[in-house]
Amino acid sequence: MQQASANRVERLVQQFEELYGAAPELMVRAPGRVNLIGEHTDYNDGYVFPAAIERDILIAASVRRDRQVRLFSSDMGVSSTFTLDAIEKVSAEGERWSNYPRAMAWALQNRGLPLRGVQAVLQGNIPPGAGLSSSAALLVASGLLLLSAAHQTLDPVELALLAQQAEREFVGVNVGIMDQFISVLGKKDHALFIDTRTLHYEPVPLPTSGVVIVIANTNKPRGLVDSAYNQRRAECEEALAYLKRFLPSIRALRDVTSEEFTRWEASLPEVPRKRARHVITENERVLQSVEALKKGDITLFGHLMNASHNSLRDDYEVSCTELDALVEAAWALPGVYGSRMTGAGFGGCAVSLVAEEALERFCQEVPQRYREATGREATILITRAAQGAERLL
């Protein structure tokens, strides 16, 4: 229970009682996440290194005798009801959030798990659409709730895979495995190294004192993210096709070392060459980051974060004025080990590793410099690495 504040839990219980006239029998939480390094590597079979954050979705519920799932989103102030016998996707603006729990129920039943009806209230504090994966948290929390209500258990990796399948096939968003995986398997005070090809994973300790993760949100509305994302995927495919001529055994950019790349890069047109260079060097930076943190070398890890930002800005070309402004403002301050854009790019958030004694100045100066550079307001979220999804009640 340590991760969700007692106040939030209390309020949720109260709300549940007002709505359904009895105390909840179950409560679950699932966190959002921030990727510390390893960006745009997942669809190239590569490595990622996220941490779960101290922001989550809480769901309180009780089991019903029938096959109805009744949900009330406390944040949206809207309820949505469906039956487990015929799960349909909804398109009404106010109810679309319920497609995530619907998707999860659909995926669990497809897997042959018998579910039971529930009535529930959910409440979250992950800003939606900011790239901190509120959608994965909602899927995973819904999954854990539905499993608990039916007295079912599932291997955590399988739960993550089903949540990914739910988002891909039911909601219709072509996502990788990182978000669902970290929301399920996150470990307090650890980042999680994940090999997205083999799903091998390893929690790596972060310093437990003296340093915090600071997430700065550009608050820039989503623009060209989706089309640029698809374009980058295609450019990686193109780079792979070129490199296969020289390295016939490779299956993905993940299989290319930087020595091999240096040997053949001149044969690639400029754009696929730059995209491949980012992916190949980024994968290496993730492996170096894991080694650095295992040795407690936070300074080296910070340098790798900075190099990741430069690569995303210059080679992958997914940064933007707003992200660069946040990162440069962070770089200029003492006590900042490293800073980079995180997530798909073109907006969303920057992540920094900051010494505790430098926090106050960071919170003052970064938003101020950001305002001067862009005219926008940044929001700052301070966190440590949090535990993955869990049943609280």
| Residues near Mg ion, by CB under 5 A | 135
- Interface residue with ligand ADP, options 4, 132, 161, 292 (CB under 6 A): 132
By rule CB under 6 A, what count of residues binds ligand ADP? 19
Position 229, amino acid:
Y
CA–chain centroid gap for 216, Å, is 15
Position 307, amino acid:
A
- Interface residue with ligand ADP, options 17, 75, 260, 284 (CB under 6 A): 75
Residue 132 binds which entry of ligand ADP, Mg ion, none, CB below 5-8 Å type-dependent: ligand ADP
Binding span for ligand ADP by CB under 6 A among 134-142, 186-194, 284-292, 304-312: 134-142
Catalytic residue among 179, 255, 315, 324: 179
Q: Which is nearer to Mg ion, 135 or 308 (CB)?
A: 135
In angstroms, the CA 9 to CA 123 distance is 9
Residue 140 binds which entry of ligand ADP, Mg ion, none, CB below 5-8 Å type-dependent: none
Least distance to ligand ADP, CB of residue 271, Å: 27
Sign of CA dihedral 173, 175, 180, 183: negative
Q: Could you give the dihedral angle defined by the CA atoms of residues 161, 52, 291 and 331, in that order, rounded to the nearest 10 degrees?
A: 130
Q: Closest CB to ligand ADP belongs to which residue?
A: 124
225 binds ligand ADP (CB under 6 A): no
Largest CA distance in the chain: 69
Q: Catalytic: 42?
A: no
Distances (CA, A) of 170 to 6, 30, 38, 43, 116: 34, 20, 27, 20, 20
Which residues face 216 on adjacent strands?
A: 350, 380
In angstroms, the CA 141 to CA 259 distance is 43
217 binds ligand ADP (CB under 6 A): no
Nearest Cα neighbor of 125 from 112, 138, 107, 113 is: 138
Which residues face 327 on adjacent strands?
A: none
Binding span for ligand ADP by CB under 6 A among 133-141, 211-219, 253-261, 276-284: 133-141
Binding site for ligand ADP (CB under 6 A): 57, 73, 75-76, 96-97, 100, 122, 124, 126, 128-135, 138
Residues designated as active site: 179
